[in-house]
Amino acid sequence: MQQTTREWQQLDASHHLHPFTDFQALNKKGSRIITKASGVYLEDSDGQRILDGMAGLWCVNMGYGRQELVNAATQQMQQLPYYNLFFQTAHPPVIELATLLTEITPPHLNQVFFTGSGSECNDTVLRMVRHYWASKGQPEKQVIISRHNAYHGSTVAGASLGGMKGMHAQGGLPIPGIVHIDQPYHFGEGQGISPHEFGLERARQLEQKILELGVDKVAAFIGEPIQGAGGVIIPPDSYWPEIQRICDHYGILLIADEVICGFGRTGHWFASEGFGIKPDLMCLAKGITSGYLPLGAVMVSDRVAKVLVEEGGEFNHGFTYSGHPVACAVAIANIKLMQSESIVKRVNETIGPYLQRRWRELADHPLVGETRGKGLVAALEIVQDKRTNQRFPTAANAGMTCREFCFNNGLVMRAVGDTMIISPPLVITEEQVDELVSLARRSLDLTA
Ligand code: PLP
């Protein structure tokens, strides 16, 4: 189909309901039609080049147009495009990927349960941790503690585990047995308290909640090492060690949702390693295939796997596309590419520090209250008054305005309220980082 931009927009408005979108508002404005991409750049239907500062949706880690991934998909499609794993069957790509994942994740994670997405991973862990405790003879241990403003996906269980008020308001969520404590968002909620004290205070809410509910009722705690969609909330250094201590002390399971943080984003293969967390379950998706195909994986620790295998009986759970062979083949090629290009080392030692240094220069802008980041993920806070960090009124939509200026200037930067976020492909070069930062500054100037 060869269409003009206007024709595409009309067809899109007539027949397509977008995720997380005010349909009417979008239809009035018309969607931006992305037609192709290469490296870190997108191209739209008018031929404009756009630097993708979000790696798609935090996922195109190895950049667009990687022939190695295309070849892996093509070959696997020809060899075996699909087979299921339900009826005591497996196939080479799923076995090879499971093995590879246990090699690159921390040593105590040696079993994998495959899904088709990050949300499905979180549905899986919800059922898995409850099944784990039931199998150990403690079926009353049901409650999962999460955090306000967390994002764990958009299925009913994922959105319930997540702490997004707007999502809870639609569809009567959260489902029973999920409670939320506060997030470790120092800039937004900890002004006047040292980051160290604030981190401890927020972590100790977990202990208070466990004691309030009764330890015999609590199954697990779930958290993103760095909250992504909530606004790139980087916890103070004191936070995760205290969470780990509390989980260990009360014997509750720790689930790390690494759907965004995994696969090199923070300069480690998995952010849990950087924060010193030892999760019982780890959720992976997005960067596992660099977003070329949908795939998710729940890494299961020896402690949990032993109970599931020896005492759990049949686990009545799974998806048609669990461990899809083509997605697995792409994931294997993607991980091997990451290894051959030493991409994690690059994020940790060169391009990550470079981006963080350049990004922090934006702190001198009159609209910027804070810049923060780790590896190749970063955020800045737009404020009306830099001295007091007072925000613009919500109705001013400063974040959305800045995002629009970015897009029109050729940069994808995401807005979560007035928090601006970047998470570019891990293959971005120093020159492209310079371009990103100067486009961000120009857009901030226009927002002012
Ligand atoms: N978990 C986290 C931390 C995420 O950021 C996301 C998506 O952004 C999900 C889960 C859900 O993943 P998916 O959209 O693949 O279902």
- The predicted-structure confidence for 311-322, as pLDDT tens digits, reads as follows 999 999 999 999
- Kindly report the protein residue whose alpha carbon is nearest to atom 5 of ligand 1: 260
Atom of ligand 1 nearest to the CA of 229: 5
Mean pLDDT of 381-395: 94
What is the per-residue pLDDT for 448? 79
CB environment 116-128: b (16+ within 10 A), e (fewer): bbbbbbbbbbbeb
Mean pLDDT of 421-442: 98
Give the sign of the dihedral formed by CA 25, CA 30, CA 34, CA 40.
negative
**What ipTM was assigned to the predicted interfaces of this complex?**
0.99
| Lowest-confidence region among 150-159, 218-227, 387-396, 418-427 | 387-396
Atom of ligand 1 nearest to the CA of 261: 3
Atom of ligand 1 nearest to the CA of 155: 16
Sheet holding 368-374, edge to edge: 368-374, 377-382, 419-422, 414-416
Token duo for residue 50 = 């756009």
Answer yes or no: is pLDDT of 388 > 90: yes
Atom of ligand 1 nearest to the CA of 296: 15
Distances (CA, A) of 15 to 7, 10, 25, 26, 236: 12, 9, 15, 13, 45
What is the per-residue pLDDT for 1? 61
**How buried is residue 23: exposed, middle or buried, by Cβ count under 10 Å (0-12/13-18/19+)?**
exposed
| Contacts of 240 by beta carbon, 8 Å cutoff, 6+ apart | 203, 225, 275, 276, 277
Distance 355 CA to ligand 1 centre (A): 24
DSSP structure string for 343-377: HHHHHHHTHHHHHHHHHHGGGGSTTEEEEEEETTE
Mean pLDDT of 291-302: 98
**pLDDT tens digits, 164-218:** 999 999 999 999 999 999 999 999 999 999 999 999 999 999 999 999 999 999 9
Atom of ligand 1 nearest to the CA of 150: 3
Distances (CA, A) of 200 to 93, 244, 250, 274, 335: 43, 12, 17, 18, 36
Distance 442 CA to ligand 1 centre (A): 30
> Running DSSP on this structure, what letter comes out for residue 305?
H
In the chain, the domains with their CATH numbers are 32-62+344-447 (3.90.1150.10), 68-340 (3.40.640.10)
Atom of ligand 1 nearest to the CA of 117: 15
Distance 151 CA to ligand 1 centre (A): 7
Residue 385's CB: how many other CB atoms inside 10 A? 12
**Which residues approach ligand 1 with their CB closer than 6 A?**
117-119, 122, 151-153, 224, 228-229, 257, 259-260, 285
Distance 225 CA to ligand 1 centre (A): 13
Residue type (1 letter), 100: L
**pLDDT tens digits, 344-376:** 999 999 999 999 999 999 999 999 999 999 999
The percentage of residues in the chain with a pLDDT greater than 70, rounded to a whole number, is 100
Distance 27 CA to ligand 1 centre (A): 26
Distance 356 CA to ligand 1 centre (A): 24
CA distance 263 to 256: 13
- Kindly report the protein residue whose alpha carbon is nearest to atom 12 of ligand 1: 118
**pLDDT tens digits, 88-121:** 999 999 999 999 999 999 999 999 999 999 999 9
Distance 383 CA to ligand 1 centre (A): 28
Atom of ligand 1 nearest to the CA of 120: 16
Flag whether the pTM goes above 0.80: yes
Strand 414-416 relative to strand 419-422: parallel, antiparallel, unpaired? antiparallel
Distance 352 CA to ligand 1 centre (A): 23
Mean pLDDT of 291-295: 98
Q: Measuring CA to CA, which residue among 104, 103, 76, 114 is closest to residue 92?
A: 76
Identify whether 174 is preceded by a cis peptide bond (ω within 30 of 0): yes
Token duo for residue 262 = 């995994």
CA distance 258 to 148: 17
Cβ(9)–Cβ(31) below 8 Å: yes
Mutate to test the pocket of ligand 1, among 57, 125, 160, 259 (most ligand atoms within 8 A of CB): 259
Q: Kindly give the residue spans of alpha helices, DSSP state H, lying in 251-350.
A: 271-275, 302-311, 325-340, 343-349
**pLDDT tens digits, 3-62:** 999 999 999 999 999 999 999 999 999 999 999 999 999 999 999 999 999 999 999 999
